[in-house]
Chain A
């Protein structure tokens, strides 16, 4: 690993035992955890005060403690895991479905006038349509089973991945393209050995954003037609006025989305070390 120059490296005697300033990334991370805990603690104490003063209905807003208790109860019966697995699988498969056409069309539109003239008008016309607007049609076409949800998530992820790929492929450094052409790299080799690696860091970001979009829209499709999944769990809990369940469902989605993103960011740094710049 390369490291940027820092005052600590240049003047080790200056280094204090512990740097508690906001410039120290480790201290920064610690503070972020602290502020989060502080917010949760504040929420808990408001709940505590409310149990005395009753200034809002505690049934509508459970305390963090209630939510954790509910989550562990749902976990111990295996229900929570079942819903998580269902939703995560749908998002993963939906994004996987969107991936090949998004990459092919994104690269195609950016690098071939023929592909651009055929597909771009249609794609751009459909783009502004919110995925939710077409969900009822998808249900009519693909039934209320898994397929309609996968197509729906795929639809949402497709535009995000395709747009990232298109912008990236259109902005490949022209001198690299010229170098490839003068080295005799043509046809299929040009796409697999030059274009694909050149866009791969952006493609990775596109997939990350596509997954986030998948988690955003999954819930809607599970509201409408599903018998398992976090969206279903939330909607079902609403029918029975189980507010804690709803909170568990919502926070679970938040935690999953955050974790997936964090893992991918780490993978990204590893995979695309060749382009990471330490200066910023």
Chain B
């Protein structure tokens, strides 16, 4: 018997109605599976509907048709089983880094596990900056704090929307490596949106390639290169080449 996937999109359509304009179909029959513990990248040009897919998976918007299943339950709204890391960091500016993470660590009863909070602050390297306010942080630090907050919420699936898109290449690579470390230690399921071929090839176990207008699945490229991976290695360049070849067809 085959194991049920952690996250499943089943023929999901998304049509946005607009005032005084014809509706636009943004997603057309999107189907894919993400297995438990897998790291999957959604790759596609800007405007192809990547954020829309992620927001549907998060339960923030409802698809026009089709179903999304997470941990064998139909997604009907946001839930703590699915954590989201936004490109805009989305830290609460009135809280310090630590307080932001505490908010993530609060269980339904409002209890906070301080050990857990400190653990995730340390894992993301934000422990020494724990008492700073978001406005005092660089972009990379903000995103590390946001990742710590999401991890402290202990989701089964982590949805990331171009989390490193606004960062400089050095910070971006450092955070990629940190994320891989966290992922391989926790074995959480990750759906990671990016428009960078290199990023997808480096991080993903599988790359889901999308095309735009309307957003449709174009190809799925497996990436079985073993960890630890080396950037710009022959194998990863091979994966990049495969992605680019699939993009052209």
Contacts and interface: CB of A to CB of B under 8 A. Distances in A.
Interface in B133-154: 133-136, 149-150, 153
A181 B59 CA distance: 9
Contact of B133 (A194, A200, A274): A274
Interface string A182-208: 111100010001100110100000000
B92 interface: yes
A183 B101 CA distance: 11
Interface centre among A182, A275, A277 (most CB of B within 10 A): A182
A194 B92 contact: yes
Given A181-B78, A184-B80, A184-B153, A275 B93 contact: yes
Given A193-B103, A274-B133, A275-B135, A182 B92 contact: no
Given A184-B80, A185-B103, A178 B90 contact: yes
Interface in B62-102: 78-80, 82-84, 86, 88, 90, 92-95
Contacts of A185: 103
Contacts of B136: 2
Contacts of A176: 90, 92
Contact of A274 (B82, B94, B110, B153): B94
A166 to B, nearest CB: 20
B207 interface: no
A178 B94 contact: no
Contact of B135 (A180, A184, A274): A274
A266 to B, nearest CB: 19
B92 A197 contact: yes
Query: Taking chain A's interface residues, is the majority helix, strand, or loop, or is none over half, making it mixed?
Result: helix
B94 A183 contact: no
Given A178-B86, A197-B92, A200-B94, A183 B60 contact: no
A52 B134 CA distance: 66
B134 to A, nearest CB: 8
A182 B83 contact: yes
A176 B91 CA distance: 7
Contacts of B150: 183
B108 interface: yes
B44 interface: no
Contact of B58 (A182, A189, A273, A275): A182
B90 A175 contact: yes
Contacts of A180: 92
Nearest to B92: A176
Contacts of A197: 92, 94-95
A184 B149 CA distance: 12
B215 interface: no
Contacts of A273: 133
Contacts of A7: none
A179 interface: yes
A180 B133 CA distance: 18
Contacts of B49: none
A272 B95 CA distance: 11
Contacts of B92: 176, 179-180, 194, 197-198
Interface string A168-179: 000001011011
A183 B103 contact: yes
B163 interface: no
A182 B60 contact: yes
A276 to B, nearest CB: 8
A272 B93 CA distance: 10
A2 B137 CA distance: 13
Interface of B: 55, 58-60, 78-80, 82-84, 86, 88, 90, 92-95, 103-104, 108, 110, 133-136, 149-150, 153
Given A183-B150, A274-B95, A274-B133, 13 more contacts: A173-B90, A176-B90, A182-B60, A182-B84, A183-B103, A183-B104, A193-B103, A197-B92, A197-B94, A198-B92, A273-B133, A274-B93, A274-B94
29 contacts: A2-B136, A173-B90, A176-B90, A178-B86, A179-B84, A181-B78, A182-B58, A182-B60, A182-B78, A182-B82, A182-B83, A184-B80, A185-B103, A189-B110, A193-B103, A194-B92, A197-B92, A197-B94, A198-B92, A198-B94, A200-B94, A272-B94, A274-B94, A274-B95, A274-B134, A275-B93, A275-B94, A275-B135, A277-B135
